[in-house]
Structure 1
Amino acid sequence: MAGLRLFAVLFLGFASGLPLALSGQAMQAWLTVDGLDIATIGFLGLVGIPYSFKFLWAPLMDRFDPPFLGRRRGWLVITQLSLAVMLYWMAQLSPKDNLELFAVVALLVAFMSASQDIVVDAYRTDVLLAHERGLGGSFAVFGYRVGMIVSGGIALIWAQEQGWGQVYQVMAGIMVVAAGLSLVLLPKVSSELKPLASEPKQELLGFTAMLLGFAGGWFAAQFVLIGLGFDPATPNKWWKLVFLLTQVLVALPAGYWMARKVGFETLNRSLDSYFSQTGAVAFMLLIILYKLGDAFAGSLTTPFLIKGMGFLSGEVGIVIKIFGMWPTILGALLAGVLMLRWSLFKSLLVFGVLQLFSNLGFWVLAMQGRGAWGSFMLPAFDWVLVSSSTASEIDFLLMTVISVENITSGMGTAAFTVLLMSLCNQRFTATHYALLSAFASLGRIYVSPLSGVLSESIGWPNFFLFSMLMAVPGLVAVWWMRSAIHGVAGR
């Protein structure tokens, strides 16, 4: 039975990782090839905003189960089929010719992907026993990274041969298959730990009130800012970023106030449950900071390699996701083995230090440039799922940088996943994990527009040095909270 649980975690990790790149790295490559400027690509990273707000609708997935399909499993099937529809729609569009509609559909893909993540994370936390979490966390990261390899790397190779529209249609088909497997293969989750019963109409009313509060705060902030003389259409990218972030900072508390006022009970009980824990706020700060340096370095990796360094998209795909697959596997397995012996605190600290130094590789690449360590020619190949009709030049420095990044990032993410699972109350798993992972995604989402503007302002080498500096506060937070980390790991 343990083997089946670990297989389920591995499979769902893949299903969760696949759509992320399709509104992230793969989409960036599509936009770059279509000729959009770096700052615009950076701002389109904001389509990932649903990952930051997913805790707002996660309570509905804790409270309600689709009929006949079972707890957690029903929502998996619904979100995966919805992703298939959205990806197929996205495949029919051209970002260059219809950027606004393309961005809206990409936002819908991110919304359904974030919704799938809510259920995947909750299912993993519910189904794994406490002693299985270290190995289960590494399996989840392994599957997740393989999913990103397919959509963020192999997709680049397919796109060079078939075009991006065809690639997104294939990804839609994969999500249909995933929905079928979720329906027939996944072990059931007990419904005994479901939140206490509440009035369904009141839950939906509270959820609606929260959305209205969020929208009201958003437009109120916009009205005030325009009244103060701020122009949302300003060509100044820094002011545009400030305008957007101010709207978010006003909208969130407005939505939360309305949820409290009207009575969105599952959300309210869930938040009360989390914040009753000792060190709850400090843990949220740690969660934001731990992957921040990684988020800066990774936010514009694809445009940096293609536009900044002049690599071809097919070469980037081969190096990142074919040669990079083996370091990813090594990192995931190594993390799982080490976490069987190490404490959670030691794992977070050591893996975090390795993450920091992996960013140095991008700085070296930015300084020395393409070809600095030589290259070799990879002949044309056909490996069934992946093929290239022409020979590809493979850069040794690029391959080294990506390999080191894949190993260390995977190790850090495995330890981080175990930390998040340890902080969840199983009555509110979906909401708690969604809340914590939403805070974890703040760096990845909001760093993207800042990274686009910053890289244009200070240049790529200084940008990657800055990313290393931004990794330091997360390590300080881990050391400062070592006693609290030991405490939650022992539960």
Structure 2
Amino acid sequence: MDTASKQRWQESFQAFLHPRVITMLFLGFSAGIPILLIFSSLSLWLREAGVERSAVTFFSWAALGYSFKFVWAPLVDQLPLPFLTQKFGRRRGWMLLAQCSIIAAITGMALIDPSNGPSSLTYMAIAAVLLGFSSATQDIVIDAYRIESAEISLQAMMSSTYIAGYRIGMLVAGAGALFLASAFGSTKDTYDYQAWQGAYFIMALAMLVGVFTTLAIQEPISNRTAIVSRSTREHFGFLFMFAVAATGFILTFYHTAEVATSMTKTLSARFDSFPVGGFLVETFRLGLGIGIAWLAATLVIWSGIVSQNMMQETYIAPAQDFLKRYGLSTALLLLVLVGVYRISDIVLGVIANVFYQDMGFTKVEIASVVKTFGLFMTIAGGFLGGILSVRYGVIRILFLGAVLSAATNLLFMVLASMGHNLEMLYLVISVDNLSAGLASAAFVAFLSSLTNIQFTAMQYAIFSSLMTLFPKILGGYSGTIVDGIGYSNFFILTALLGLPVLYLVWQAGGLLKNHQP
């Protein structure tokens, strides 16, 4: 190796010691803590508290904030916060607010015993929604901070350390919370609320890593003068529109609860299937809520409260650019592919921890095999997917990832027939997480290739939101579906859901092959 090559390698390794790069490790940790406290850790807590599977999986909807974050991303991007923006800056102010909200939400969840009846579950759901919303907001700000805080040459290193920190945070919130709850005395047979309360209190304290990091770092220097030129009236008009739309969505769900219950019973009797009736009713209910929110926002825009130019630059221009570059038919196919690519993994993942517990695996076994060992397999799959994507092309590995993601779900059916078998669990987690990591690496590369650098933040926010929206909605019914058809048939169903994805990837590959956006 010549001197010049050695010097380049040395410079690359030294880049990992850059303060901005190290900062992303701690911010990644902060971003990785909340998500599993809504999904897997919370699902086990609720099951130990005696909550039915159907209700447990509905809690996965609390993370829908991640799927709708593109809606309020412009608000976070442009709205100054009283005192916080002036004291800490635009990015750090929002980051600090989001982190404090996350701590408040986790603490709120710790103060609620879900075994106390329906009212406690309602309060737990409210706290979980706050956690999902606050966590998604933190993600928006951290992404913006990462892009603005360092030159292009450091972006790859910053992304690497961010992902590493994120995975460590997930490990702490997943395996760590389970180990703590178990060590404090809660088991499947002997539920102990104080054990889970202590575990969640410690998770709230872990978020102080993010808070201290935010206080220690410097605000990035942004060259985006458009932010400064916005008037206070425009900012508050935008905030008002978002508040009205969100209120419309929440009130729709609140006032349709009793009607939805009645309609579910009627349709379930007609279809002789509770999962089908519940799915149809809740899908309609969600669509109605989105429609009301859209109508409310439209009325506010028509009233002149919101700046038309601001709406054009924020929402319309990025969408128009995407449609113009790819054409309507290709753009729609790509959006459908983005929306369903991870459907097999996500729908199964919502109920996975409950399945492990029902198979007789202890929290310590789940934490050791699924969370810790599985995490390393996911990281290994990510590296493998990146290498193969460079060698053979993103579309080919995207197709391979879709095949593996669907096929590996059938291994869960084998595990369901074997019951508590630790060796089989290791095999299932090895194959499933390795394939998931491979598919995710190819998918992220695919999403990045679809964005225009002029609208990277908004377009990527749309893609990253869309990719989990429908799978999470469907995943909310996974417990109900399992109650109706059993685990084995459920795993076959999740594998079949992946078959249309293969066709979409094949179609997308053909359309993009000769397309130059």
Tell me the distance in 1 between the aligned counterparts of 2:433 and 2:157.
Answer: 18
Separation in 2, partners of 1:229, 1:460: 25
Aligned residue for 1:300? Answer: 351
RMSD of the TM alignment (CA)? 3.4
Higher helix share: 2
* 2:419 aligned with 1:369: yes
Q: CA deviation at 1:426?
A: 5.4
Partner secondary structure for residue 310 of structure 1 = coil
Cα deviation for residue 13 of structure 1 reads: 3.4
Residue identity opposite 2:214 in structure 1 = S
Asked if structure 1 preserves the Cα contact closer than 8 Å seen for 2:75 and 2:238, the reply is no
In structure 1, the partner of 2:106 is 87
Any conservation in 2 of the 1:362–1:401 contact (CA below 8 Å)? yes
Give yes or no for the alignment of 1:433 onto 2:460.
Answer: yes
The reply to whether residue 406 of structure 1 matches residue 433 of structure 2 is yes
Distance 1:232 1:212 in 2: 29
CA drift at 1:26: 0.5
How far off is 1:451 after superposition? 1.0
Query: For residues 321 and 226 of structure 1, do their structure 2 counterparts lie closer, same or farther at Cα, with a shift above 3 Å needed?
Result: closer
Distance 2:157 2:406 in 1: 23
Give the distance between the partners of 1:487 and 1:191, measured in 2 at CA.
Answer: 36
Shift of 1:233: 8.3
How high is the TM-score relative to the length of structure 2? 0.79
**Deviation readout 1:91-123 (Å, 9 max, x if unpaired):** 122111122212211111111111112223444
1:101 aligns to 2:123 (yes or no): yes
* Greater length-normalized contact order (CA 8 Å, ≥ 6 residues apart): 1
> For residues 260 and 473 of structure 1, do their structure 2 counterparts lie closer, same or farther at Cα, with a shift above 3 Å needed?
same
User: How far did residue 199 of structure 1 move?
Assistant: 3.4
Please, what TM-score do these two structures have when normalized by structure 1? 0.83
* Map 1:232-251 → 2, pairs under 5 A: 236=274, 238-251=276-289
Corresponding residue for residue 17 of structure 1: 32
Q: In structure 1, what is the Cα distance between the partners aligned to 2:457 and 2:40?
A: 26
Q: CA deviation at 1:47?
A: 1.8
Shift of 1:226: 7.5
Match of 2:236 in 1: 204
CA distance in 2, matches of 1:224, 1:146: 40
Q: CA deviation at 1:57?
A: 1.4
Describe the shift of the 1:79–1:334 C-alpha distance in structure 2 as closer, same or farther (beyond 3 A): same
Q: Deviations over 1:418-476 (max 9, x none)?
A: 33344445565544333222211214421222211111111111111111111222232
Shift in Å at residue 185 of structure 1? 4.3
The aligned counterpart of 1:288 is: 339
2:370 alignment counterpart? 320
Matching of residues 249-398 of structure 1 within 5 Å: 249-261=287-299, 262=301, 263=306, 266-276=310-320, 277=322, 278-279=325-326, 280-307=331-358, 309-371=359-421, 395-398=422-425
Instruction: Report the AA paired with residue 170 of structure 1.
Output: I
Q: Return the alpha-carbon distance in structure 2 between the equivalents of residues 447 and 417 of structure 1.
A: 22
Q: 1:13 to 1:284 in 2, by over 3 A?
A: farther
Equivalent-residue separation in structure 1 for 2:386 and 2:90 (angstroms): 28
Q: Does 1:59 align with 2:74?
A: yes
How far apart are residue 10 of structure 1 and its match?
4.5
| CA distances 1:235-284 after superposition (whole Å, capped 9, x unpaired) | 95543443332232123244334434513654542322222213443332
SS in 1 for 2:222: coil
Q: How far is the alpha carbon of 1:396 from its aligned partner? A: 0.9
Aligned to 1:72: 91
Number of residue-to-residue matches in the alignment: 466
CA displacement 1:336-366 (0-9 Å, x = unmatched) = 4444445332332233333223222212211
Paired residue for 1:49?
Answer: 64
Residue 190 (1) aligns with residue 205 (2): no
- Specify the code of the residue in structure 1 equivalent to 2:499: V
- Tell me the equivalent position of 1:416: 443
Distance 2:380 2:244 in 1: 47
Deviation string 1:388-410 (CA, Å, 9 cap, x unpaired) is: xxxxxxx1111121122222212
Deviations 1:135-194 (A, max 9, x none): 876655444333222212221111101221111111111111112123434783634376
Indicate the residue corresponding to 1:389 in structure 2.
Answer: none
Rg larger for: 2
Contact 1:15–1:175 (CA under 8 A) maintained in structure 2:
yes
Whether the 8 Å CA contact 2:79–2:235 is kept in 1: the answer is no
Change in CA separation of 1:478 and 1:171 when aligned onto 2, cut-off 3 Å: same
Distance apart, 1:477 and its partner CA: 1.9
Report the more deviating stretch, 126-135 or 470-479.
126-135
Identity %: 29
Task: Please tell me whether the aligned partners of residues 332 and 411 of structure 1 are also in contact (alpha carbons under 8 angstroms).
Answer: yes
Could you say which residue in structure 2 is the equivalent of 1:179?
Answer: 211
Unaligned runs of 5+ in 2: 1-13, 185-194, 269-273
Other-structure match for 1:453? 480
C-alpha distance 137-178 of structure 1, shift in aligned 2 (>3 A): closer
Structure 1 stretches lacking a partner, 5+ long = 372-394
Question: Cα offset for 1:34?
Answer: 1.0
